[in-house]
Amino acid sequence: MEGSIIETLNFNLNRTTSLQLLEAIAEDCETLSEKNLSFCKYVLETALFEGISKKYSPSVLVATALSLCENVLKCKIEPKLQPSQKPNRQEIAECFKDLCMVLQGSNKFELSALKRKYNRSRFHNVAKIKLTLN
């Protein structure tokens, strides 16, 4: 199976994931606390779980996670981005809507392993946060 996967992927195993982008932004962003970072990671893994990550690029997913974090945790995050790095607002709005639907529990599936993982104190219990938007 391992050989089949590597051959099918044509030995191209290098990916830019949304987590890499988030960590790169977090390095330069002083306003992104540990709790905010955990919440963003929870949002990104939820997107992976629900298949939302297939619809949007990593940059859109990260921008949406940061935007959700600002809204839910009532904080101001100012990532240092060049104008050319800023993703499309329309796409962010669509992604925001999709993720809100999932996080508000309107989806029929349970996020059990993810919730267990992010309910730990190591991740600041971010899975317990109720989604109330401004």
Partner 1 sequence: MVNIEKLHPQETQKNVSEKMRQILIDWMIDVHESFELKEQTLHLALSYLAEYSAMKEIGKENYQLAGIACLWVASKYE
CB nearer partner 1, residue 13 or residue 133: 13
Site string for partner 1, 55-94 (x = CB under 8 A): x---------------------------------------
- Tokens in use for 101? 């639907």
**Is residue 45 at the binding interface for partner 1, with CB under 8 A as the rule?**
yes
CB under 8 A: which stretch of 27-35, 43-51, 72-80, 86-94 binds partner 1?
A: 43-51
In the block, which residue shows the tokens 């949007």? Answer: 56
- Tokens in use for 109? 């599936």
| Long-range CB contacts (within 8 A, 24+) of 22-27 | 22/62, 22/65, 25/62, 25/66, 25/79, 25/80, 25/81
**Is residue 112 at the binding interface for partner 1, with CB under 8 A as the rule?**
yes
Round to whole Å and give the CA distance between 55 and 35: 27
**Is residue 51 at the binding interface for partner 1, with CB under 8 A as the rule?**
yes
Round to whole Å and give the CA distance between 47 and 11: 26
Interface residue list for partner 1 (CB under 8 A): 1-2, 4-6, 8-9, 12-13, 15, 17-20, 41, 44-45, 48-51, 53-55, 109, 111-114, 117
